[in-house]
Chains A and B, each alone.
Chain A
Amino acid sequence: MSPRLALCAIVLLAIVGGAVAIAWGRSGPERPHWEGHGIKPPDKDFPLPEIVSGYWFRTKETQAIQDDDFNNPGFFAVEQGEELWSKPDGAAGKSCASCHQDAATSMKGVGAAMPKWREALHKPVNLEQQINICRTERMQAEPWKFGSAELTAMTTYVRFQSRGMPVRVRIDGPMAPWFERGKQLYHTRNGQLDLACASCHEKNYGRNLRADFLSQGQSNGFPVYRLRDQRLVPLHERMEGCIFDVRGIPYAPLSDEFLALELYLAWRGTGLPVETPAVRN
C-alpha cells in the first residue's frame, strides 16, 4: 500500500500545479482538448451537439491518475465495497453476496441503467436507494446514511461492475414524468446568482468560469474521487455543491428532485461509458 500512497502524493502535486496552470483563460497555456472526444447524440433533437465525458475536460495529469487503476485513489472505495459485499450485517444474518453471489456477474450493467422504476414503491430508485432497500428489507440492517463511507463505497463498487458499459436509462412509461421534472429542474435558475444547471453545463461548457473549466456536468464517472477533498463524492453531493455555489438552497440528497435530476443527467449522457471511479480535481 505505501509505495502506492507515495505515488498518489506525487501525482497529486503534479495535478494541483496543472490545475493552476490551465485556469488562465484564453491568454494562458492550453486548455484540455475536449473537442472531438464526444459521442454522437441518439437523435437530432438532443440538447447537446456531442456528448462528452467530464474526463476530457480535465488536465492530462488528472486523466493519467484515472487511467491507472493502481494509482487511482478511488480504488480504495472499490476495495472497501468488495469487502462489505460479502460481510453479513443485520438481523437476517445476510450479506449482499447471500442474494447476489458474485457481483462481477450479478451487478454487471446495473449501475449503467440507474435510476430504475420500482413498481412496489411507485417511484424510481437510484443505486444508493436500492442498496439501502436491500439492507432494510432483505438484510434487516440499518440503512447507510447518505455520504457515509460505506454507502459511497458500495455504490462505487456496484457501479464499477459496469465500467466501460454505455449509460442507458429508461425514460418512458412511468419514468416519463420524472424525466420531465428533471428536465425542468435542469433549466430552472436558482439562488442569488440566478443560474440554472443549463447556464453552466449546456450553454458554457468548454469555457472558464474563473478557475473552473466547465464540463457538460455529466454523471458517468460518479461517485468521483476529488483530489481536492481526497475522497469520493457521490453525485447528489456534487449537485448540492453546484446549487450552493450560486447561493441557492440545494435540494436534499436522495430527494425526489435530485432523483429526477439524476435521471435527466443520465439521459443527457446516453451512450457514455461508465467511468466509476473517475478522478476530478
Chain B
Amino acid sequence: MKALGCVVGLAAAVVSPAASQAAPPLPPFSVVVKDGVATIPAPLTSEPGDPKAGATVVVDRQLGNCLSCHEIDVLRGEEFHGDVGPPLNGVAKRWDTATLRMIVVNPKKVFGEDTVMPAFYRVDGLNRVRPEFVGKPILTAQQVEDVVAFLAALK
C-alpha cells in the first residue's frame, strides 16, 4: 500500500496515522489442522457455551448480527434475514463443533482469504478500525462459545 502510494506520488494521501494500530494480542488458543481444515477443538473459556445466549448474540445488531448475512429458520421471529452467506439451517450436520468455532473466530482460515464473513474473535491485521473498537474483538470469548453452542444445535 505504501509502495504504491510513493510510486504514484500521492504519498501524503496514503500514510495515515490510523493505518498502523497496535493492539495487545488476545489470549492464546490452539488451532489444529484436521484433514486439511483448520479447527479449534478446545473451547475458548471454561464456562460451557449457552445456546440461548448464543441466539441473542446472533440476532443483536451490535454483536454477531449474523442475520445480516444468514437466514436461520429457528429465528424466523426476527425480521430481516440477509442472504450474503448461505442459510445456517442444519449447519451442525456440515461442520463439527471444532470447525464451527474456527469459522466464528476467523472464517478466513476455513473459507480462504477472500471470504466476506468477518472474523469475530480477532484484533490484528485490520485496517482503519475506529478507535473505540481497536484491540477489541467483535465478540468476547464467552460470546463466541455461546454462538458455537447455538450453531452446534442447528442439526
State in angstroms the CA–CA spacing of A249 and B127 once bound together. Answer: 9
- How many interface residues does A have (CB within 8 Å)? 38
Residues 47-63 of B at the A interface (beta carbon under 8 Å): 61
User: Do residues B68 and A209 form an inter-chain contact, with CB atoms below 8 A?
Assistant: yes
The residues of B that contact A23 with a CB separation of less than 8 Å are: 79-80
State in angstroms the CA–CA spacing of A248 and B21 once bound together. Answer: 12
The residues of A that contact B4 with a CB separation of less than 8 Å are: 180-181, 184
Question: Looking at the complex, which one of A24, A188, A193 makes contact with B1 (CB distance below 8 Å)?
Answer: A188
User: Do residues A255 and B13 form an inter-chain contact, with CB atoms below 8 A?
Assistant: yes
B81 at the interface (CB under 8 A from A): yes
State in angstroms the CA–CA spacing of A257 and B83 once bound together. Answer: 31
Chain B 74-97 interface mask (CB, 8 Å, partner A; 1/0): 000001111110000000000000
Question: Looking at the complex, which one of B10, B83, B116 makes contact with A26 (CB distance below 8 Å)?
Answer: B83
B43 at the interface (CB under 8 A from A): no
Q: How far is the CB of A77 from chain B (nearest CB, A)?
A: 30
Of all chain A residues, the one with the shortest Cβ separation from B61 is: A210
Question: Looking at the complex, which one of B65, B131, B133 makes contact with A210 (CB distance below 8 Å)?
Answer: B65
Question: Looking at the complex, which one of A20, A177, A189, A203 makes contact with B127 (CB distance below 8 Å)?
Answer: A189
User: Do residues A195 and B129 form an inter-chain contact, with CB atoms below 8 A?
Assistant: no
B126 at the interface (CB under 8 A from A): yes
User: Do residues B81 and A248 form an inter-chain contact, with CB atoms below 8 A?
Assistant: no
- How many interface residues does B have (CB within 8 Å)? 34
Residues 183-230 of A at the B interface (beta carbon under 8 Å): 184, 188-195, 199-200, 203-204, 207-211, 214
User: Do residues A210 and B80 form an inter-chain contact, with CB atoms below 8 A?
Assistant: yes
State in angstroms the CA–CA spacing of A139 and B118 once bound together. Answer: 50
The residues of A that contact B61 with a CB separation of less than 8 Å are: 210
Q: How far is the CB of B131 from chain A (nearest CB, A)?
A: 8
User: Do residues B12 and A192 form an inter-chain contact, with CB atoms below 8 A?
Assistant: no
State in angstroms the CA–CA spacing of A106 and B43 once bound together. Answer: 68
Of all chain A residues, the one with the shortest Cβ separation from B134 is: A192
Q: How far is the CB of B85 from chain A (nearest CB, A)?
A: 9
Binding site for B on A (CB under 8 A): 20, 23-27, 177-178, 180-181, 184, 188-195, 199-200, 203-204, 207-211, 214, 243-244, 247-249, 255-257, 260
Q: Supply 26 A–B pairs (Cβ within 8 Å), ascending by A.
A: A20-B79, A23-B79, A25-B71, A27-B71, A177-B9, A177-B10, A178-B8, A180-B4, A188-B1, A189-B126, A191-B129, A192-B118, A192-B130, A193-B138, A194-B126, A210-B65, A210-B67, A210-B81, A210-B82, A247-B133, A248-B128, A248-B129, A248-B130, A249-B131, A255-B13, A256-B12
